Amino acid sequence: MFKKARIKLSIMYLAIVMAISVSFSVFIYRIVSFEIRSRMFEIGSRLYIRQGGFSAPPEQGMFFVEDIKETENKVLFVLIYTNIIILTLTSFAAYLLAGITLRPIEEAMEEQKRFIADASHELKTPLTALQTSIEVALRDKKINLKEALFTLNDSLKDVKSLTILTNDLLSLTRYQQNGLKESFQKVNLGLVIDESVAKILPIAKNKKINLKVDSSDSIIKGNRESLAKLVTILLDNAIKYTPEKGRVEIENVTRGRSAIIRIIDSGIGISKKDVQEIFERFYRADASRSKTKAAGFGLGLSIAKSIVDIHKGSIDVESEVGRGSTFIVKLPIE
């Protein structure tokens, strides 16, 4: 598909360049031809005068007709030759340029295809499990109320987890489309942190995690709702990947033209190999799955990264396996 589009675009580029080149050549030919004829006429007139005006006075075009024709032919030849060279060179350049023009579109389409494939794959597994458990329950003629309720409860859990997955997928596409710019306004990061902490506090309490908050006023320009989501994702992960009675800390400071948020935990940590991958869609480190058995689809950090990108900031992680992780978000101050 892209090969055809590339050839079509190359032909269009070529047609534009050749239309300009041929029109320019016709224009040059006319001017040169006119110039040659008037010059020849002038020379002829001078010669006639020098020779004492033996013959009849010259009229334009009477003198050196052969020479004029020959010179015009030479000019024509040079122009045609130049156009052939332009055609050849432009063909290569147009093909190259068409490739460069189409590359970002091709990459975006590839990315979209990958996204659909990944999302379908992630949706398929829980859907198949759900279907199987319902079918098994329906086939069981002797099923009692207790067993039926158990199956229903189990199915409800799967449906809830599917809802989380689809919501995450929708968030990711929304943030990746970069359409939030219009809703940028002044946001106090300190308040955003306090709100996210209030939301996440019950989970921390449930795990007996010591959650320390050191928030301060720091105004940036951004989308409030997405910034709240960013802080919530990072806090949620910090609690999720920290064993009971652990410690999680969140703070924000202003350094020069940047607002910095740090989320520090005393959790399981991330290996060097995994640190390279965790911001990739659907990536989950083996250790986090086996050690904490924490639920998740590996979308949180991709969403967080997309939000940071929209705000032209950066997100980094420093981590040591078994000792904990620190996520550092830098956002430019307006």
Of positions 41, 63, 64, 241, contacts ligand ADP by CB under 6 A: 241
Contact window for ligand ADP (CB under 6 A) among 90-98, 122-130, 185-193, 233-241? 233-241
Q: How many residues bind ligand ADP (CB under 6 A)?
A: 21
Nearest residue (CB) to ligand ADP, 218 versus 266: 266
DSSP 182: G
Whole-number Cα distances in Å, 119 to 125, 126, 168, 229, 288: 11, 12, 10, 21, 21
Angle subtended at Cα 318 by Cα 314 and Cα 319, rounded to the nearest 5 degrees: 145
Q: Is 296 in the site for ligand ADP (CB under 6 A)?
A: yes
Residues numbered 58 to 117 that lie near ligand ADP (CB under 6 A) are none
Of positions 2, 29, 150, 283, contacts ligand ADP by CB under 6 A: 283
DSSP 298: S
Residues numbered 243 to 282 that lie near ligand ADP (CB under 6 A) are 265, 267-270, 278
Nearest residue (CB) to ligand ADP, 209 versus 270: 270
DSSP 321: T
Nearest residue (CB) to ligand ADP, 90 versus 237: 237
Nearest residue (CB) to ligand ADP, 94 versus 193: 193
Nearest residue (CB) to ligand ADP, 13 versus 274: 274
Q: Is 175 in the site for ligand ADP (CB under 6 A)?
A: no
Of positions 94, 235, 259, 285, contacts ligand ADP by CB under 6 A: 285
Of positions 300, 306, 310, 315, contacts ligand ADP by CB under 6 A: 300
Of positions 10, 171, 176, 325, contacts ligand ADP by CB under 6 A: 325
Of positions 301, 307, 315, 331, contacts ligand ADP by CB under 6 A: 301
Token digits for 121?
């794959």
Q: Is 305 in the site for ligand ADP (CB under 6 A)?
A: no
The 10 Å Cβ neighbour count of residue 125 is 9
Of positions 44, 288, 310, 329, contacts ligand ADP by CB under 6 A: 288
Nearest residue (CB) to ligand ADP, 11 versus 275: 275
Residues numbered 113 to 152 that lie near ligand ADP (CB under 6 A) are none
Residue ranges in the chain assigned as alpha helix (H): 2-50, 65-139, 145-176, 189-206, 224-240, 272-275, 286-287, 300-310
Strand pairing partners for 325?
Answer: 319
CB of 322 to ligand ADP, least distance (A): 11
**Among 329, 315, 326, 306, which Cα is nearest to 220's?**
329
- CA 55 to CA 52: how far, in whole Å? 9
φ, ψ dihedrals at 320, nearest 5°: -135, 130
CB of 319 to ligand ADP, least distance (A): 7
Of positions 58, 228, 297, 329, contacts ligand ADP by CB under 6 A: 297
Whole-number Cα distances in Å, 237 to 38, 220, 233: 86, 24, 6
Nearest residue (CB) to ligand ADP, 291 versus 330: 291
Helix (H, G, I), strand (E, B) or coil at 288: helix
- CA 298 to CA 279: how far, in whole Å? 8
- CA 227 to CA 222: how far, in whole Å? 7
CB of 282 to ligand ADP, least distance (A): 8
Backbone Cα Rg of the chain: 37
Which residue is listed with tokens 């279907």? Answer: 131
Cα 323 from chain centre:
34
Query: Which residues are at the interface with ligand ADP (CB under 6 A)?
Result: 237-238, 241, 265, 267-270, 278, 283-285, 288, 296-302, 325
